[in-house]
Amino acid sequence: MSGPLTVSLGERSYPILFGDDLVAGIRADVKELRAAGRPFAVLTDTNFQAAQASALAAMFGAAPVLAVAPGEGAKSLDGLGRVWDFLAEQRVNREGVLFAVGGGVIGDLGGFAAASWLRGIEFHQVPTTLLAMVDSSVGGKTGINITAGKNLVGAFHQPRKVTISTAMLATLPAREFAAGMAEVIKYGLLGDPELFADLEASPLQPGSASLADVIRRCCATKARCVEADERETAKEGGRALLNLGHTFGHAVENVAGYGQYLHGEAVAIGLCAAARLSQNLGYIGDSEVSRVEQVIAAHDLPTRLRVALPYAELHAAMTRDKKVRAGGLRFVVLKRLGEAATQSGVAPELVKTTFHDVGAS
């Protein structure tokens, strides 16, 4: 099994541990906290609680667990209030630790609760979806949604440790696994051509022997981007490269209505759009676009909108995206398969053509 990685951020550095079953390691962490008299609390959602009750018990014993309702709705002011109340009930002091055990929703919500509780306590990420393992549990972006938009309120708060135990994926629904694959394919496209070639040669399955290794490679790419540009302030490249496919994808999620597409499904369409835009800009050719579409389709993900959405609305949603900089839209494009770059100043006509290429009306 692959060894740990370190996200190197000076005093905020932390390890990412990988393994088939790391329940015993978490139990040891809990024992250490108890021995040191440090309070801790556990946040999860009711789906994971029901699906993996024995793993939860093995990790945390009889410790109190707050299980919120599953889904994006938990990442709300209401949900945040419930976590704060729970931390208060459990008398979690400044020495305390919050374990966020779940998908990206739980990681983002728990991370923001930890960032704000007593002005910041330690938190550990225990991701349980493929998306959370390869993406949201690493990098310290935390937050909640408000009526005005997704992820508009949040903080950079790095976890103290990330423990990735692939056995957690045994109960993940197939559609959620596929959604996580969109982010895996993204890493191949933006900085790991070998990974992309491996996915082309044989699609990754939940039971693939290489799963833990692939997750580790994705985390290594994410760690590199985060280390180079922790707060996404670089003028070119940096952490923004992780948004490959996301400018288009967020617009699709927003216009289709949240829930129509899983985040990863919208990102998959966004990756196809990014490939088309790169072609429209003359960086890659027809055959590269087809290769991107084939890998995405081979992982049970959409390459085009299922039902046409109006371009005008998609464009409006794009310009509302918080990642849009003063001075206009900034896209992440492919210079080749395995190398991405940020690109400003794209002609509006090209954006329109690109959206039509993936099925906008």
Q: Which is nearer to ligand NAD, 178 or 295 (CB)?
A: 178
Please tell me which residue in 75, 82, 141, 157 is annotated as part of the active site. Answer: 141
Q: Which of 132, 271, 318, 360 binds ligand NAD (CB under 6 A)?
A: 132
What span, in angstroms and rounded, lies between the C-alpha atoms of 105 and 70? 8
Min dist. Cβ of residue 75 to ligand NAD (A): 5
What span, in angstroms and rounded, lies between the C-alpha atoms of 220 and 83? 31
19 binds ligand NAD (CB under 6 A): no
Q: Is 322 noted as a catalytic residue in this protein? A: no
- Are residues 33 and 10 in contact, defined by beta-carbon separation less than 8 angstroms? no
* Touching ligand NAD, residues 295-354 (CB under 6 A): none
Q: Is 263 noted as a catalytic residue in this protein? A: yes
Phi/psi for 158 (5° steps) reads -75, 140
71 binds ligand NAD (CB under 6 A): yes
Q: Helix 286-298 and helix 263-280: axis angle, to 10°? A: 170
- Are residues 55 and 167 in contact, defined by beta-carbon separation less than 8 angstroms? yes
By beta-carbon distance, which residue lies closest to ligand NAD?
A: 104
Strands 97-102 and 122-127, how do they pair?
Answer: parallel
CA 220 vs. chain centroid, Å, equals: 14
Q: Which of 9, 17, 51, 346 binds ligand NAD (CB under 6 A)?
A: 51
Report how many residues bind ligand NAD under the rule CB under 6 A: 31
Phi/psi for 153 (5° steps) reads -115, 130
- Are residues 121 and 94 in contact, defined by beta-carbon separation less than 8 angstroms? yes
> Which residues have a Cβ under 8 Å from the Cβ of 246 and sit 6 or more positions away?
267, 270, 323, 332
Which span (33-41, 84-92, 101-109, 346-354) binds ligand NAD, by CB under 6 A? 101-109
Q: Is 141 noted as a catalytic residue in this protein? A: yes
Please tell me which residue in 11, 91, 119, 349 is annotated as part of the active site. Answer: 119
* Touching ligand NAD, residues 21-50 (CB under 6 A): 45, 47-48
* Per-position x/- string for 241-270, each x denoting binding to ligand NAD as judged by CB under 6 A, each - no binding: ----------------------x-------
Which span (8-16, 97-105, 291-299, 329-337) binds ligand NAD, by CB under 6 A? 97-105
| Residue 321 to residues 4, 163, 297, 324, 329, Cα–Cα distance (Å) | 35, 31, 27, 6, 9
Interface residue list for ligand NAD (CB under 6 A): 45, 47-48, 51-52, 70-72, 75, 102-106, 108, 128-129, 131-132, 135-136, 139, 141, 151, 168-169, 171-172, 176, 179, 263
